[in-house]
Amino acid sequence: MYESFYGLTSKPFSLVPDARFFYASTVHKRGLAYLRYGLHQKQGFVVVTGQAGIGKSTLVQTLFTSFSGESLVVASITSSNLSPEETLQSVGYSLGVYREGISKASLLISIENYLKARAKQGKRVVLVVDEAHYLPKKSLEELRMLSNFQLDNQSLLQIILLGQTSLNEVLSGADMEQFSQRVIASCHLKPINAEETPAYIGHRLKCVGWHGDPSFTGEALAIIYAASGGVPRLINSICDRLMLSASTNEQHTIDLTLALSVWQELSEETAGIFNMANLNSQDLLSLPDLQEYDFPDDGSIAKKINAAVNLQTEAGSRQHNPRTVQANESVDSASSVGAMAAEAKAGRQFAEQARAESQVVAEMESGQVSENAQTSEKQIISELEQAVAANDSFPDLPEKTATKTTPKLKVMLLLVILFLVLVVTILLFIIFSDTGIQTNLAGMLKSIFSP
């Protein structure tokens, strides 16, 4: 509906996973690097965990696009507390070898023969198991047995498990040690932060031809982040509803009033997923407006947001409702929207000054910890890059820096070429205009080639 009103090519905030809209946030970029490394090993298990809507399926879709040049056969199953036998049947069905009434032994033979046939064709098979946290331990053990199939000391099947955080707890159990030893790469996806939320929204809008209509005010962006907790699927839900409401009212700016109104509607409809009870008016002072000129294609808007408020609290204080932020003041009805908007705008200047004054203290308190965390992350990425540097077929990591030619060097090369062309032209002119030189050249050629 709103696509035509705003001149967009399609819906920017669909809830269906789509690699075209993949946004490389800090955590998703790092996760993708781990997965590329894992898939490149061509064996064992790769595990991706994170809460619902965090972007696990989109990340895996993006992973496979980076391996588009290879011969991959990708099969997938979605588990729902499947028994070991049902798990094996689902795998066989996804590979096209299951038939009604087939015994377990015959099904295992059919799966192995299929995998060997693909390997002889130069193809490798990757099985994606979604909602893997629902699988019982015995079903996971059945998958481990499938990973034992080999041909000429090469694994025939690699398995990617997608699941929520509870999957990590299952795999870390003492009775899952053999399984855990087969996990060659894993990553846990966390929500994107407040600073990257506008860049995420702008990226998805750019993918469908957005040119600044509608624009988002800073207060509205802060509401979107506070309501979603940085979870991509929840951000999509809120933004989709915001754009629908804005187009219905023929608005070209999504502001605080509209954002709070939509948040309240979603809170009432979803039984607490978008809970308004813990909103603090200070949350409205965090982000600048989002317009087309704020969002160049290189994503540098994230670097420009230097006044983002940390809306996330320690994990212990968020266990009750991780999708909302801790606060001291609540919003009970739409009648409080105007008062909060006035308070937020009046306090913006004071908040900016307070943040500037407290910046030095904050850096002193947390700088060392932040530095250690950054050093640890850089070390992990460096180890991954070193591990794959020995194999040229590994895609994209590390990227090679293109050699740049300076304008001065280009001019010098052009002058040299022009000079050589001029010399050759003069020589040809002399040769063809002087009959004596032609006679001497003919004599030299005759003496060289005569017997």
pTM score of the predicted model: 0.64
Domain boundary among 156, 188, 220: 188
Structural domain harbouring 436: 407-449
**Domain identity same for 134 and 203:** no
Mean pLDDT over each residue of the chain, to the nearest integer:
75
pLDDT tens column, 332-364: 333 344 444 444 444 444 344 434 434 433 444
Q: Indicate whether 17 belongs to any domain.
A: no
Pairing relationship of beta strands 154-155 and 150-151 according to DSSP bridges: antiparallel
* Burial degree of 244 (CB within 10 A; 0-12, 13-18, 19+): middle
* 108-131 average pLDDT score: 94
Q: Indicate whether 20 belongs to any domain.
A: no
pLDDT at position 423: 82
DSSP percent split of the chain into helix, strand, coil, nearest 5? 55, 10, 35
d(CA 196, CA 228): 13
Q: Indicate whether 386 belongs to any domain.
A: no
**Domain identity same for 266 and 302:** yes
**Domain identity same for 355 and 412:** no
**Domain identity same for 184 and 201:** no
d(CA 252, CA 190): 32
* Residue 451 CA to its chain's centroid (Å): 74
Q: Could you tell me which residue, 441 or 78, shows the higher pLDDT?
A: 78
**Domain identity same for 225 and 348:** yes
Q: Could you tell me which residue, 141 or 304, shows the higher pLDDT?
A: 141
pLDDT at position 322: 34
**Domain identity same for 144 and 161:** yes
**Domain identity same for 256 and 164:** no
Domain boundary among 121, 155, 188: 188
Strongest mean pLDDT among 147-151, 305-309, 337-341, 349-353: 147-151
Position 329 pLDDT exceeds 50: no
Position 268 pLDDT exceeds 60: yes
pLDDT at position 143: 95
Position 63 pLDDT exceeds 60: yes
Contact 89, 107 (CB under 8 A): yes
Number of Cβ within 10 Å of residue 436's Cβ equals 7
pLDDT at position 435: 67
Domain boundary among 131, 158, 188: 188
**Domain identity same for 36 and 174:** yes
**Domain identity same for 173 and 92:** yes
**Domain identity same for 249 and 318:** yes
Q: Could you tell me which residue, 66 or 125, shows the higher pLDDT?
A: 125
**Domain identity same for 329 and 413:** no
Q: Indicate whether 327 belongs to any domain.
A: yes
**Domain identity same for 178 and 202:** no
The CA-based angle 271-277-280, given to 5 degrees, is 145
CATH number, domain of 174, equals: 3.40.50.300
Question: Binning pLDDT at 50, 70 and 90, where does residue 12 land?
Answer: very high
pLDDT at position 444: 66
Position 323 pLDDT exceeds 50: no
pLDDT at position 418: 85
What would the two tokens of residue 407 be? 């304008």
Q: Indicate whether 390 belongs to any domain.
A: no
Nearest residue to 437 (alpha-carbon basis) of 426, 450, 422, 421: 426
Question: Binning pLDDT at 50, 70 and 90, where does residue 69 land?
Answer: low
* 317-345 average pLDDT score: 38
Collect all residues with Cβ–Cβ distance below 8 Å to 281 and sequence separation of at least 6. Answer: 329, 340, 343, 344, 347
Give me the number of domains the chain comprises: 3
Contact 189, 56 (CB under 8 A): yes
Q: Could you tell me which residue, 363 or 308, shows the higher pLDDT?
A: 363
pLDDT tens column, 218-266: 989 999 998 899 999 999 999 999 999 999 999 999 999 999 999 888 8
